[in-house]
Amino acid sequence: MSNPSLLILAGDGIGPEVMAEVRKIIDWFGAKRDLKFDVEEDLVGGSAYDAHGTPLTDETMAKAQAVDAVLLGAVGGPKYDVLDFSVKPERGLLRLRKEMDLYSNLRPAQCFDALADFSSLKKDVVAGLDIMIVRELTSGIYFGEPRGIITENNERVGINTQRYTESEIERVARSAFELAMRRGKKLCSMEKANVMESGILWREVVTEVGKDYPEVELSHMYADAGAMQLCRAPKQFDVIVTDNLFGDLLSDAAAMLTGSLGMLPSASLGAPMANGRPKALYEPVHGSAPDIAGQGKANPCACILSFAMALRYSFDQGAEATRLEQAVEKVLADGVRTADLLNEDGITPASTSQMGDAVIAAL
Amino acid sequence: MSNPSLLILAGDGIGPEVMAEVRKIIDWFGAKRDLKFDVEEDLVGGSAYDAHGTPLTDETMAKAQAVDAVLLGAVGGPKYDVLDFSVKPERGLLRLRKEMDLYSNLRPAQCFDALADFSSLKKDVVAGLDIMIVRELTSGIYFGEPRGIITENNERVGINTQRYTESEIERVARSAFELAMRRGKKLCSMEKANVMESGILWREVVTEVGKDYPEVELSHMYADAGAMQLCRAPKQFDVIVTDNLFGDLLSDAAAMLTGSLGMLPSASLGAPMANGRPKALYEPVHGSAPDIAGQGKANPCACILSFAMALRYSFDQGAEATRLEQAVEKVLADGVRTADLLNEDGITPASTSQMGDAVIAAL
Ligand SMILES: CC(C)[C@H](C(=O)O)[C@@H](O)C(=O)O
Ligand SMILES: CC(C)[C@H](C(=O)O)[C@@H](O)C(=O)O
């Protein structure tokens, strides 16, 4: 039997640096745990644009469809701000999500004990926080038609369309209920059903799917109230399910609240492939951080933990995933810190590769 | 000359209770400062539905159009959850905003010194916070057509449309720049121009309007990054301008972060009327809080401070507005607290009317 395959798309900014550390981890699992992967690398985002004039070539897209999992670094940077919308770095990422049909985006917002002081929130509000935001990722206003800038009555009009079908809502709701079953059995669905008809349909379908999960305590919240409650008392939540746009804002806010932004991974999952594995892409929640790129300052943990999610969700290696997660936690507990995890002067931060090496040592 | 006119729409839940305190304040200004108003009261939201089968009658709408300013309490409650979308309490409020064309919604997020401990954020992150979020209020996905739930390929599809014309963006941007000129001369515009064409147009038009305000330092941020930055370091902002939906979430998150949610007013302003005053509606940021309605527990300060905004923005009484604001601050500093402003047991909270009386005493 051949090894499972990985496509690494390191992308822009700090993407390549943090991904280099993930490569070390992958090699470690191959050598020490006999978990071997066939790894290929390719370009996405601005770096793909620089090389090919497009943020994702058809060849790369085809590779992504063929592999068992994609690992992505980050895309974007000020250098590409001037580009036309259709070739901006983000379009590469959005094309991957859409064409791989990765409808369920899992974004854990977890507060690492060793980093609780790092949050802008009071320690007791965030210590021990562990919630999972399930964001719909292939539909809604990100992809709805019609869209564009048209001219009407002699002025320009910007248009985007929020569109959700019942089956789109159903499948992401189901994945959120499944997750809730394996966690604290609480699910909160967020929309603006008081203002948007798409929110009304969302609430109805989620409620309907909930009948198949009588053990899960389901609640509904308007997204604005959800934003408030995440800021006020995030620990009231277990799993949250929401649409693409609300999920973008709410998961970023939640990630920031933990104080562990440089630590947070994500998984984007689609339907099972012929081999039973879901289509999958794993990426850190943080962006490409062009201001510190190339300086060896970036924290590779979020990207490493994204690989841990790959072990769990794509390769059924939950125990190995936990091993890797615990290694990261041990490194933090030992006080190894990249610059983003330090707020005092006078301490020399660990470099990106020192952090990666420390994780390997802890493994 | 006749007195300026006010229409009071107390609405649902705690609306009538907090508005009763505002009436006292209005009477005080009439008696002691010779600032007299002609006040009329009417129904909106669930209470209007109960009386007339609609959350806003045409007669009330006509009155709102005719007066100098509308003061609104709050709308909504679980009792009305079962109602059809078209007659939900919120539709009354949305109709007022739309038909009065109140395009510029000013939402201060201010942290009251006496309440800084109340925030879920660390004290140094929020103490002294004073930002203003300008939210576009009459367009975007709240009102765009087509909208609704249709059937396609044998399943239901929920649709809403984000639509912004250049002139809609321009006028709200202009009001935000004007505000920035009277404050710290910093404006941050938030959208998702990396994903939405309506965001691209938004950014272009705001940039263009900015040329008329060379003194204002203009920046742009993606709304998800904006949500993060509001949670991380809100004091970096002075004025924020954003669309209807982003504004809904971001202003609620910002309000919650201050710890002073029960204290925050808002103003919704439109174009000048024949008498030079803008069309205007003032309302607290908080909701109808049905769980505590009718118990004399509600904090009337947000509603009182909304009247202060009316004095400033509708009646050119900035000095009197400041007097009222300082009275509220004095009451807080003196330790008078409604239940929402207390986190220790053993202290007897002030009732809604005691709080109102204390403000009058401080005046
Ligand atoms: C880069 C951008 C297109 C993307 C999004 O808006 O989805 C990012 O913010 C994210 O959350 O993954
Ligand atoms: C009550 C509701 C319709 C309203 C909104 O979504 O605008 C509220 O949340 C607000 O922010 O004023």
* Cα of B35 to nearest chain A Cα, Å: 37
Which one of B167, B224, B231 has the shortest CB-CB distance to A231?
B231
Position A261 scores a pLDDT of 87
What integer is the mean pLDDT of B154-181? 98
Lowest mean pLDDT among A103-117, A340-354, B241-255, B295-309: A340-354
Half-sphere exposure of B333 (CA within 13 A, CB side): 8
At the second CATH level, the architecture of B120-128+165-258 is 3-Layer(aba) Sandwich (3.40)
Position A117 scores a pLDDT of 87
Q: How many residues does chain A have?
A: 363
What integer is the mean pLDDT of A120-138? 95
Amino acid at A264: L
pLDDT band at A347 (very low <50, low <70, confident <90, very high): confident
pLDDT band at A318 (very low <50, low <70, confident <90, very high): very high
B314-329 pLDDT, tens digit per residue, is 999 999 999 999 999 9
Tell me which of B12, B42, B164, B192 is the catalytic residue: B192
Element at B279 (helix H, strand E): strand B278-284
Average pLDDT value over all residues in chain A: 96
Q: Residue B110 above 80 pLDDT?
A: yes
Average pLDDT value over all residues in chain B: 96
Position B260 scores a pLDDT of 83
Position B114 scores a pLDDT of 85
Q: Sheet with A144-152: list strands edge to edge.
A: A144-152, A155-165, B155-165, B144-152
* Mutate which: A160, A163, A251, A291, vs B, most B CBs within 10 A: A160
What integer is the mean pLDDT of B55-80? 97
**pTM of the predicted model as reported, rounded to 2 decimal places:** 0.96
Q: Residue A342 above 90 pLDDT?
A: no
At the second CATH level, the architecture of A120-128+151-258 is 3-Layer(aba) Sandwich (3.40)
Q: For residue A9, what are its two tokens? A: 């798309």
Atom of ligand 2 nearest to the CA of B244: 7
Position A1 scores a pLDDT of 67
Q: Residue B1 above 70 pLDDT?
A: no
Q: CA–CA separation, B294 vs B14, rounded Å?
A: 7
Sign of the CA dihedral with B355 first, then B357, B362, and B363 last: positive
Kindly identify which residue of chain A lies nearest to residue B200, measuring between CA atoms.
A158
Q: CA–CA separation, A66 vs B73, rounded Å?
A: 57
Q: CA–CA separation, A243 vs A49, rounded Å?
A: 29
pLDDT band at B67 (very low <50, low <70, confident <90, very high): very high
What integer is the mean pLDDT of B36-60? 98
Dist. CA B94 → ligand 1 center (Å): 30
Q: Residue B167 above 80 pLDDT?
A: yes
Element at A131 (helix H, strand E): strand A130-136
Position B2 scores a pLDDT of 87
CATH of B1-112+259-363, one of 2.60.15.10, 3.40.718.10, 3.20.20.30, 3.30.470.10: 3.40.718.10
* Cα of B228 to nearest chain A Cα, Å: 5
Q: Residue B345 above 80 pLDDT?
A: no
Q: CA–CA separation, A69 vs A9, rounded Å?
A: 11
The partner residues of B281 in beta bridges, in order of sequence, read: B70, B268
Q: Residue A4 above 90 pLDDT?
A: yes
What integer is the mean pLDDT of A219-239? 96
A93 CB under 6 A from ligand 1?
Answer: yes
What integer is the mean pLDDT of B89-111? 97
pLDDT band at A205 (very low <50, low <70, confident <90, very high): very high
pLDDT band at B253 (very low <50, low <70, confident <90, very high): very high
Position A259 scores a pLDDT of 85
Half-sphere exposure of A118 (CA within 13 A, CB side): 24
Q: Residue A343 above 80 pLDDT?
A: no
Q: CA–CA separation, B196 vs B209, rounded Å?
A: 20
For chain B, the domains span 1-112+259-363, 120-128+165-258
Please answer yes or no on whether B152 and A165 come within 8 Å at the CB atom.
yes
pLDDT band at A81 (very low <50, low <70, confident <90, very high): confident
Percent of chain A exceeding pLDDT 90 equals 93
Q: Residue B240 above 80 pLDDT?
A: yes
What integer is the mean pLDDT of A138-154? 98
Dist. CA B108 → ligand 2 center (Å): 15
A86-105 pLDDT, tens digit per residue, is 999 999 999 999 999 999 99
The runs of H, that is alpha helices, within B87-211 are: 89-99, 123-126, 166-182, 197-210
Q: How far apart are the first and last CA of chain B?
A: 27
Percent of chain B exceeding pLDDT 70 equals 99
Q: CA–CA separation, A37 vs A15, rounded Å?
A: 20
Q: Residue B343 above 80 pLDDT?
A: no
What integer is the mean pLDDT of B81-89? 92
Using CB atoms within 10 Å of the CB of residue B82, give its burial: 0 to 12 exposed, 13 to 18 middle, 19+ buried: exposed
